[in-house]
């Protein structure tokens, strides 16, 4: 039981469909499994990057505020030269001033900035800053220091991210240092952005999707090609379509050689069938011609041997029986060779057993009635198999012939056909003596017979061998078993359609 389970698991794992399904699951699962890790890493990177930008803004603010303690024209000139040095890496610095005694946010005035803002845009820049609401948070004490992560659009329409705001009160009023960074200098960064919206992830997903499609296309192309090969094989087997070939149906260049080999194999099999038939005919003619000469030569010898010459007469009888036996053997051999050739070019079609079996059984019912043997038939309606009329006819003829030979008078032969899962089961029961247990496994062998007069009357043990060979050629099985009381059963199983 464990071994059978292991075989099923191994077969399932080797299955092309199983591997295709596993590949689909892997391609679907990998992004889901690693997305959270990548998202967390992206958040940590953004947080670290922004902390660096905020810290840079704080250092700039702390460095500038001492220059504003005693603001003078000289300090203003130094401030204008200092801002470009501090604004490295694209940082924007804005210096604003609110006179003492005023607390309104719109009372802040631009003192300096880097990059410089033209006079025409100063009012718009100031309004944009007021609209952010940050200036309104600066109290009368002008004591405000805070790291920021606020989006801002400057007067020229460029997007920025404000990183730090620091203020200091002096005798003249409130000074404010505001730092920001143009978004073009911090590619792909946004504090509110979801990781799946990042360009790098979109590019990675595009590459991953392309790889998935490529791998799956390899699987599906191979699968479709195998299905096309299967249809060609089915067409060749059933004869439903002529002129088709594996090479014509192949769509994968790497399989051209395999497809050509298959086509050559089909041609070789058909050629072999012709050669086998030809050889059978030639061998039979070559062997029977000398036998005919021997038989004709016995007539003058028999006339020449006196009737009272018992040894001579006995020798002649032995020669005649041997010639008859040899002739029968040659006929049997020819029959085997022809049957083998027939198997190589039999077209498989859907067979309606309720239509075919009554016709085959009826041919034997008259012969059976002459010996007071009843023949009963029971076929399930609509029972169909994939097979060949000639092969099934040969099977039933040999099995029924065998059953008639071993059935005593006043007995019965029962033929029944019924579905059993994916198989159709045909059972032929007789009431004969059955088969010895030691011979049961040999009855379907070549030249095996349980008849006492083996070899006489055409019995050379090839009937059940032909049965097994034909059934297996149709994808089925056949077994023989003794019935509990008396008799023997031949059970044939064929694939249903």
- pLDDT above 60 (res 492): yes
Q: Residue 477 — very low, low, confident or very high, per pLDDT cuts 50/70/90?
A: very high
Asked whether residue 449 falls in the same domain as residue 418, the answer is yes
Asked whether residue 54 falls in the same domain as residue 152, the answer is yes
Domain end (from 170, 185, 200): 185
Asked whether residue 123 falls in the same domain as residue 174, the answer is yes
CA pair distance 97, 65, nearest whole angstrom: 12
* Domain of residue 461, CATH code: 3.30.565.10
Residue 116 inside a domain? The answer is yes
Asked whether residue 373 falls in the same domain as residue 287, the answer is no
Least confident of 336-345, 363-372, 392-401, 486-495: 336-345
Asked whether residue 376 falls in the same domain as residue 289, the answer is no
Q: Residue 457 — very low, low, confident or very high, per pLDDT cuts 50/70/90?
A: very low
More confident residue, 440 or 190: 440
Overall number of domains in the chain: 3
Asked whether residue 177 falls in the same domain as residue 111, the answer is yes
Strand partners, 419: 424
**What is the enclosing helix (H) or strand (E) of 489?**
strand 488-495
User: What separation in angstroms does the CA of 20 have from each of 8, 23, 41, 96, 300?
Assistant: 18, 5, 32, 66, 80
- Percent of the residues in the chain that have a pLDDT greater than 70, as a whole number: 83
Digit-coded pLDDT (tens) for 215-252:
888 878 888 888 888 888 877 766 666 667 888 888 88
Domain end (from 153, 185, 217): 185
Asked whether residue 163 falls in the same domain as residue 97, the answer is yes
* Domain of residue 93, CATH code: 3.30.450
CA pair distance 53, 275, nearest whole angstrom: 89
- pLDDT above 70 (res 133): yes
Residue 220 inside a domain? The answer is no
More confident residue, 212 or 5: 212
Residue 262 inside a domain? The answer is no
Asked whether residue 365 falls in the same domain as residue 282, the answer is no
Domain end (from 185, 202, 236): 185
Least confident of 41-55, 88-102, 174-188, 449-463: 449-463
**What is the enclosing helix (H) or strand (E) of 165?**
strand 159-169
CA pair distance 293, 289, nearest whole angstrom: 6
What's the confidence (pLDDT) of residue 429?
Answer: 94
Asked whether residue 298 falls in the same domain as residue 415, the answer is no
Asked whether residue 331 falls in the same domain as residue 358, the answer is no
Digit-coded pLDDT (tens) for 296-313:
777 888 778 787 888 877
Residue 269 corresponds to which tokens in the numbers above? 């099999």
Residue 395 inside a domain? The answer is yes
Asked whether residue 318 falls in the same domain as residue 419, the answer is no
Digit-coded pLDDT (tens) for 333-372:
666 666 665 655 567 788 899 999 999 898 888 888 888 9
What's the confidence (pLDDT) of residue 242?
Answer: 63
What's the confidence (pLDDT) of residue 249?
Answer: 85
What's the confidence (pLDDT) of residue 7?
Answer: 67
Residue 21 inside a domain? The answer is no
Residue 305 inside a domain? The answer is yes
> Which domain range does residue 306 map to?
268-343
C-beta of residue 190 within 8 angstroms of C-beta of residue 215: no
What is the pLDDT of the chain when averaged over all its residues? 80
Question: What DSSP string describes 332-380?
Answer: HHHHHHHHHHHHTTPPPEEEEHHHHHHHHHHHHHHHHHHTT-EEEEEE-
Question: What DSSP string describes 184-199?
Answer: GGSTT--TT--GGGSH
Closest CA to 89 of 186, 190, 162, 178: 186
Least confident of 44-53, 168-177, 278-287: 278-287
What's the confidence (pLDDT) of residue 145?
Answer: 84
CA pair distance 399, 393, nearest whole angstrom: 10
Asked whether residue 338 falls in the same domain as residue 420, the answer is no
DSSP E strands in 349-455: the ranges are: 349-352, 374-379, 384-387, 412-420, 423-429
What's the confidence (pLDDT) of residue 197?
Answer: 66
Q: Residue 453 — very low, low, confident or very high, per pLDDT cuts 50/70/90?
A: very low
Kindly state the average pLDDT of the residues 179-183.
84
């Amino acid at each position: 039981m464990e071994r059978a389970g292991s075989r099923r698991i191994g077969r399932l794992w080797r299955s092309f469909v199983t591997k295709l399904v596993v590949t689909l699951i892997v391609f679907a699962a990998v992004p889901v499994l690693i997305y959270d890790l990548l998202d967390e890493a992206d958040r940590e990177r953004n947080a670290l990057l922004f902390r660096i930008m905020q810290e840079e803004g704080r250092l700039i603010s702390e460095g500038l505020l001492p220059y504003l303690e005693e603001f003078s024209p000289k300090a203003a000139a130094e401030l204008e030269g200092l801002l470009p040095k501090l604004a490295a890496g694209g940082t924007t610095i804005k210096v604003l001033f609110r006179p003492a005694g005023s607390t309104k946010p719109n009372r802040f005035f631009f003192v300096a900035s880097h990059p410089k803002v033209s006079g025409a845009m100063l009012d718009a820049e100031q309004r944009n800053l007021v609209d952010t609401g940050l200036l309104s948070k600066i109290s009368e004490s002008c004591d405000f220091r805070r790291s920021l992560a606020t989006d801002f659009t400057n007067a020229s329409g460029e997007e920025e991210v404000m990183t730090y705001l620091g203020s200091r009160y002096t005798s003249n009023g409130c000074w404010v240092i505001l730092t920001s960074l143009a978004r073009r200098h911090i590619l792909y960064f946004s504090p509110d952005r979801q990781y799946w919206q990042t360009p790098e992830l979109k590019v990675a997903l595009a590459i991953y999707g392309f790889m998935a499609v490529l791998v799956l296309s390899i699987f599906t192309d191979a699968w479709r090609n195998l299905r096309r090969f299967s249809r060609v094989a089915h067409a060749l087997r059933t004869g439903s379509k002529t002129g088709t070939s594996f090479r014509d149906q192949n769509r994968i260049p790497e399989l051209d050689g395999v497809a050509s080999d298959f086509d050559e194999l089909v041609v070789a099999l058909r050629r072999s069938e012709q050669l086998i038939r030809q050889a059978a005919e030639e061998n039979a003619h070559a062997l029977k011609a000398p036998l005919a000469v021997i038989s004709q030569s016995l007539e003058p010898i028999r006339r020449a041997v006196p009737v009272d010459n018992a040894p001579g007469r006995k020798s002649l009888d032995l020669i005649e029986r041997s010639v008859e036996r040899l002739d029968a053997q040659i006929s049997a051999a020819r029959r085997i060779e022809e049957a083998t050739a027939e198997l190589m070019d039999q077209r498989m079609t859907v067979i309606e057993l309720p239509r075919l079996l009554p016709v085959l059984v009826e041919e034997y019912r008259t012969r059976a009635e002459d010996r007071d043997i009843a023949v009963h038939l029971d076929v399930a309606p609509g029972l169909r198999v994939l097979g060949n009329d000639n092969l099934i006819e040969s099977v039933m003829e040999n099995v029924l012939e065998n059953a008639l030979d071993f059935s005593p008078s006043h007995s019965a032969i029962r033929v029944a056909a019924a579905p059993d899962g994916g198989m159709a089961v045909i059972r032929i029961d007789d009431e004969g003596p059955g088969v010895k247990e030691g011979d049961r496994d040999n009855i379907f062998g070549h030249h095996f017979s349980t008849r006492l007069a083996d070899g006489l009357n055409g019995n050379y043990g090839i009937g059940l061998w032909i049965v097994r060979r034909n059934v297996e050629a149709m994808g089925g099985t056949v077994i023989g078993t003794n019935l509990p009381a008396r008799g023997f059963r031949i059970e044939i199983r064929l694939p249903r359609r």
